């Protein structure tokens, strides 16, 4: 293995390993976060998510300031970001897990996660290169730019990104401090989880430079490619994001074994259709929205890209709609 190959493979697998370990131990999952918030009024995991976003944003902009990475800003395809985000929120409630948590649940022994991932990969493939590709191209057509470039919160307001980060940090900190105590559970406390996930998101931008161009930690298009690569040879080589996926369940398995949380879990037979459907919707929606809850919600939202933040917000709204229809409307 040559000098270039070793950093390429090692950076991807080790980044995935660390992400799988941390997210499993912290129970870090947007589906759990929003379900707990909407159904029980428990914002614990939401706090971890917001803290992760804040830490990731600071870390990402430090990397940019130091010249350690050049990050392309995601475009603001407003219609695709909105529609894709809403559908992704619905899909993750149906499947009982978001994209990142579904990958780490493999390491916990959750057999249903395989069903979700098959649906996710098929949906992502159909939307990226398959029958739904014309729909994607049409919805991703309308774009908003500022001075000919994809907008960020900083460029829209016309100030330094550090001013925006400072204001967001103040708002997030006030929200985090005003919450009630954390319920007892076997996972890491939310400040630890949020901080470590945020650090990993920022570090992921740097480690992914070994695969050039940098993609950061993502679970959207690479999940689809994990299906198409062995079947039809698309893409024509392993990329950094695909190798990242290898490390996630391994790290999660180690974490689950150490904490005594590993066990084979078979879903009820009647739920398989719902799990597959949820994965199918999530996968297609992730490609339409140009990212999942990790890709858009953390990795690219950390750049303050408006399109990413809109997609992330739409996921919250879509999840609420699904929770209301499934659990709250008759309550």
Determine the pLDDT at residue 178. 82
Q: Two tokens at 142?
A: 């309308």
Residue 281's closest CA among 127, 137, 141? 127
Segments making up each domain of the chain, as ranges: 5-328
Please report, for residues 269, 289, 315, the alpha-carbon distance to residue 118 in angstroms, rounded to integers and kept in the order given: 16, 19, 21
Determine the pLDDT at residue 96. 96
Determine the pLDDT at residue 184. 73
User: Which residue in the block uniquely carries the two structure tokens 């600071």?
Assistant: 58
CA distance 277 to 274: 5
DSSP 8-state assignment for residue 230: H
The pTM of the full predicted model, rounded to 2 decimals, is 0.96
Please report, for residues 10, 26, 209, 230, 239, the alpha-carbon distance to residue 213 in angstroms, rounded to integers and kept in the order given: 16, 30, 6, 23, 10
Residue 250's closest CA among 104, 136, 55? 104
Please report, for residues 85, 92, 288, the alpha-carbon distance to residue 323 in angstroms, rounded to integers and kept in the order given: 15, 10, 22
Determine the pLDDT at residue 331. 63
Could you tell me if 10 and 245 are in contact, meaning their C-beta atoms sit under 8 angstroms apart?
Answer: no
CA distance 34 to 17: 25
Instruction: Encode pLDDT of 138-163 as tens digits.
Output: 999 999 999 999 999 999 999 999 99
Spans in the chain with pLDDT lower than 50: 1-3
Determine the pLDDT at residue 180. 67
Could you tell me if 265 and 111 are in contact, meaning their C-beta atoms sit under 8 angstroms apart?
Answer: yes
H runs (alpha helix) in 41-110: 44-65, 78-95, 99-106
DSSP 8-state assignment for residue 85: H
Determine the pLDDT at residue 270. 85
Determine the pLDDT at residue 2. 44
């Amino acid at each position: 293995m040559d000098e270039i190959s070793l950093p390429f493979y090692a950076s991807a697998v080790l980044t995935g390993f660390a992400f799988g370990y941390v997210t499993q131990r912290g129970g870090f999952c947007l589906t759990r976060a929003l379900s707990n918030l909407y159904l029980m009024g428990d914002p614990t995991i939401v706090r971890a998510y917001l803290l992760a976003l804040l830490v990731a944003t600071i870390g990402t902009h430090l990397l940019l300031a130091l010249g350690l990475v050049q990050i392309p800003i995601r475009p603001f395809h407003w219609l695709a970001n909105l529609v894709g985000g809403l559908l992704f929120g619905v899909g993750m409630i149906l499947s009982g897990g978001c994209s990142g948590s579904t990958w780490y649940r493999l390491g916990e022994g959750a057999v249903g996660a395989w069903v979700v991932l098959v649906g996710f990969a098929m949906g992502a493939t159909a939307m990226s290169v398959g029958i739904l590709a014309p729909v994607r191209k049409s919805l991703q057509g309308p774009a908003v730019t500022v001075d000919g470039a994809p907008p960020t919160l900083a460029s829209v307001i016309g100030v330094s990104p550090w001013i925006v980060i400072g204001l967001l940090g103040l708002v997030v900190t006030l929200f985090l401090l005003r919450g009630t105590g954390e319920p007892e559970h076997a996972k890491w406390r939310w400040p630890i989880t949020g901080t470590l996930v945020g650090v990993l998101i920022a570090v992921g931008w740097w480690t992914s430079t070994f695969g050039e161009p940098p993609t950061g930690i993502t679970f959207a298009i690479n999940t689809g490619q994990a299906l198409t690569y062995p079947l039809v040879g698309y893409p024509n080589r392993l990329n950094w994001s695909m190798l990242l996926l290898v490390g996630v369940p391994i790290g999660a398995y180690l974490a689950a074994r150490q904490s005594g949380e590993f066990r084979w879990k078979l879903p009820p037979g009647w739920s398989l259709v719902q799990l597959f459907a949820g994965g199918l919707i999530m996968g297609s929606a992730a490609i339409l929205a140009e990212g999942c809850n990790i890709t858009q919600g953390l990795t690219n939202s950390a750049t303050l890209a408006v399109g990413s933040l809109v997609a992330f917000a739409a996921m919250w709204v879509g999840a609420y709609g699904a929770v209301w229809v499934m659990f709250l409307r008759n309550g």
